[in-house]
Each structure stands twice: as structure tokens, then as C-alpha cells.
């Protein structure tokens, strides 16, 4: 365990990961749709980040998210981002960018599980006038910059990390990434720039679930040996089982002096909810085709997660 990572919550990271799956599951059943497979694949990673790996201060934002307060403009001096849910923007604290902003539902659930947002926050998800947006916006809880277009997160993180390193700030920059982003050229531009400039206060953990919007990545666009590609572009890159927290801890502790660290967390997009395998490879957004299917998934997944089925309105 890195010494800089005090437990920030009384729950274990395993408990938080389970809680994240439960919350996203309940939300998906209630709303007849949601980013459920992303919870399956990334719950351990986000739980690990918030509960162990990141050095974050106490939230500066209200537990119940305020409504949408307008976009940044010269006429909106009170504008704030969602960064305050990750703690104050001070030199000693780490920053976290959620690069695949459609993981927002999972990220919000993690904020709740780690005591950074009230459960009511999730009820505001994708409601008109809410800041708890479906695709995490800069002003959404836990979001610090706009990342909705895939591939820009690592570059932004690299720029921030460069600045923090130059100023001698101890806080590091972490980017949570998704493997589809390796199809974007900008990802490779970012890695080469971070390596060229020795930006080693930057690290990323990538949810390698091999899924993208159109289906399985290998069907949509093969990306080859991404670990070797990251190494060739100058990063320090390790592969782990993304559901194995001990492996995650060891990967985070890797020496990556002079280079950014990329942790490839190989995951299952159906982890903890095996009934989702029926839908493979269409897992990007789970919506039920019928009330019967919804009821069947409700029963099966609730049993897998050890909770009662969701009592939802039809």
C-alpha cells in the first residue's frame, strides 16, 4: 500500500465496489436503462481510487448537488465545477479526471458509497435542470473538466500534471480511462508528450473491458497489443486483473520515475451480474426490451448482489 493513501472511508474497498454495483443496478432497473456494464467492469477501480489510491480532501460541495448553475461565462462568476466533490483544489491533494464521461453513473454511485454525495444525488441523474448529468459534465459531481469526447482526458491531465510538477506541488493527477480511447490518436499524442517531458506525477488506470458503443472492440476496431504500444510511446505500463484489488495496489506502487504510469485493468463487463452475458456484445447501454425481461434481470441480478429485487413502478 502506498503510504500516501489513507483509507478515506470506514468501508472496505470491496464493500464499496459491491455498493456501487448495487446502486447502479437499482438505478438501471428503476429507470429501465443505464450504464450497467460499466459498473460491472469498473466498480473495483473507482472504489480503489476514491477509497485508497487518491489523496483527496473533504468535499467542498453540498452533499445534495445544487441544480445546474449555468455554463462558464464572463457573466457567470459563481460558476463552479464538480471538482469540489473530490475535495479542495489545493496543492497537496490529487486530482481525478473521469475521461469516459459516460461512466458518470458509476462515478456518482462511488461518490455516494464513499460519503462524498448524498444518495439523493443519484435521483437527480439525467433530470432536466440537474447538474447530475447523464454524460458527466464539468459541473457534475466528481467531474473536474469536460471529458465527454473520448481521448482528451489524458492530455488535460498531462498539462495539469506538468504545471503541478513545475510548481513543486505534491498532489498528483490521475486519469480514469476506458480502453476504447486507445482508438483515438490523441491518446497516443498525450502519452508521447508526457513521456517526452518526463511527467511522472501523472498516472492512469484504464478499464479494459474490450467493449465500446457498437459492441466488442475487436469487431469494431482492433487495437493490438496496447501494453506494448504504451511502452513504445514511452509510458510505464502494467497489466492487471481489474477485479483484483491487491494487484491494483501493487500496480499503483510501481516505480515509474520519469514516465507516466498506465495501469491496464482487464475486466469483465458482466462481472457480478452474469445474466448480462446474454446481451453480449451489446453492453454499452443496458435497456430492457420488455417488462418480462426487466423483471427477470431484476430477480437475477438482485440475487447475485445479495439484495432484494428492486420494487419499481411499472
Partner 1 sequence: MVEMVARPYAAAFEAYAVQHPEVIALSADLTSSVEIDGFRDRHPEQFLSMGMAEQNMLSFAGGMGLAGYRPFIHTFGVFLYRRPYDQLMASIAYPRRKVRLMGFLPGITTPGGMTHQAIEDISVMRSIPNMTVLETGDATEVEGIVEAADSIDGPVYCRVLRGSVPRLFDSPLKVGEMRVLAEGTDVLVITAGITTEEAIRARGALDKAGVSVRHLHLNTLKPFDAEAIVAHAASVKHGVVTLENHLVAGGIGSMTAEALADAGLGKKLIRLGLQDTYAHGGSRPYLMNYYGLDAIALVRGIERLMGIETGIDEGALEAVRVDAVHSSVKAEAL
Q: Which is nearer to partner 1, 122 or 143 (CB)?
A: 143
Least spacing, CB of residue 90 vs partner 1, in Å: 12
Q: Which residue's CB is nearer to partner 1, number 189 or number 239?
A: 189
List residues binding partner 1 (CB under 8 A): 71-74, 81, 138, 144-149, 151-152, 155-164, 166-167, 185-186, 189-190, 192-193, 196-197
Structural contact between residues 245 and 13, judged by C-beta atoms closer than 8 angstroms = yes
Q: Please say which residue, 104 or 302, places its beta carbon nearer to partner 1.
A: 104
Nearest residue (CB) to partner 1, 127 versus 196 = 196
CB of 161 to partner 1, least distance (A): 7
Q: 21-26: long-range contacts (C-beta < 8 A, 24 or more apart)? A: 21/272, 21/273, 21/305, 22/305, 22/307, 23/109, 23/112, 23/113, 23/119, 23/122, 24/105, 24/106, 24/109, 25/273, 25/301, 25/302, 25/305, 25/310, 26/310
Tell me how far, at minimum, the Cβ of 79 lies from partner 1, in Å: 9
Q: How far is the CB of 304 from partner 1 (least distance, A)?
A: 37
Nearer to partner 1, 17 or 135 (CB): 135
185, 191, 252, 269 from 231: Cα distances, Å: 16, 9, 16, 25
Cβ-based nearer residue to partner 1, 68 or 288: 68
Q: What is the closest distance, in whole angstroms, from the C-beta atom of residue 187 to partner 1 in the complex?
A: 9
Q: From the centroid of its chain, how far is CA 210? A: 15
Q: How far is the CB of 133 from partner 1 (least distance, A)?
A: 14
Amino acid at each position: 500500500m502506498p503510504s500516501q493513501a489513507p483509507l478515506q472511508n470506514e468501508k472496505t474497498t470491496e464493500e464499496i465496489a459491491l455498493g456501487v454495483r448495487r446502486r447502479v443496478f437499482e438505478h438501471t432497473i428503476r429507470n429501465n436503462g443505464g450504464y450497467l456494464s460499466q459498473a460491472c467492469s469498473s466498480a473495483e477501480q473507482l472504489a480503489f481510487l476514491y477509497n485508497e489510491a487518491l489523496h483527496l480532501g473533504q468535499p467542498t460541495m453540498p452533499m445534495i448537488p445544487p441544480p445546474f448553475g449555468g455554463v462558464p461565462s464572463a457573466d457567470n462568476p459563481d460558476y463552479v465545477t464538480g471538482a469540489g466533490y473530490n475535495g479542495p483544489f489545493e496543492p497537496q491533494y490529487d486530482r481525478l479526471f473521469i475521461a469516459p464521461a459516460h461512466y458518470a453513473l458509476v462515478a456518482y454511485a462511488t461518490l455516494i458509497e464513499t460519503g462524498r454525495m448524498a444518495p439523493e444525488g443519484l435521483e437527480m441523474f439525467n433530470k432536466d435542470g440537474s447538474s447530475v448529468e447523464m454524460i458527466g459534465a464539468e459541473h457534475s459531481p466528481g467531474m473536474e473538466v469536460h471529458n465527454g469526447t473520448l481521448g482528451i482526458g489524458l492530455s488535460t491531465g498531462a498539462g495539469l500534471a506538468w504545471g503541478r510538477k513545475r510548481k513543486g506541488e505534491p498532489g498528483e493527477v490521475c486519469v480514469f480511462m476506458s480502453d476504447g480511447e486507445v482508438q483515438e490518436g490523441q491518446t497516443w499524442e498525450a502519452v508521447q508528450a508526457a513521456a517526452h517531458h518526463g511527467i511522472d506525477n501523472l498516472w492512469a488506470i484504464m478499464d479494459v473491458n474490450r467493449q465500446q458503443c457498437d459492441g466488442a472492440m475487436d469487431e469494431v476496431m482492433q487495437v493490438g497489443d496496447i501494453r506494448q504500444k504504451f511502452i513504445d510511446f514511452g509510458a510505464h505500463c502494467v497489466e492487471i486483473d481489474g477485479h483484483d484489488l491487491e494487484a491494483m495496489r501493487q500496480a499503483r506502487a510501481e516505480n515509474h520515475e520519469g514516465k507516466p504510469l498506465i495501469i491496464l485493468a482487464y475486466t469483465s463487463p458482466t462481472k457480478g451480474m452474469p445474466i448480462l452475458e446474454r446481451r453480449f456484445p451489446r453492453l454499452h447501454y443496458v435497456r430492457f426490451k420488455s417488462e418480462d425481461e426487466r423483471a427477470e434481470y431484476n430477480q437475477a441480478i438482485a440475487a447475485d448482489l445479495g439484495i432484494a429485487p428492486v420494487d419499481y413502478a411499472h
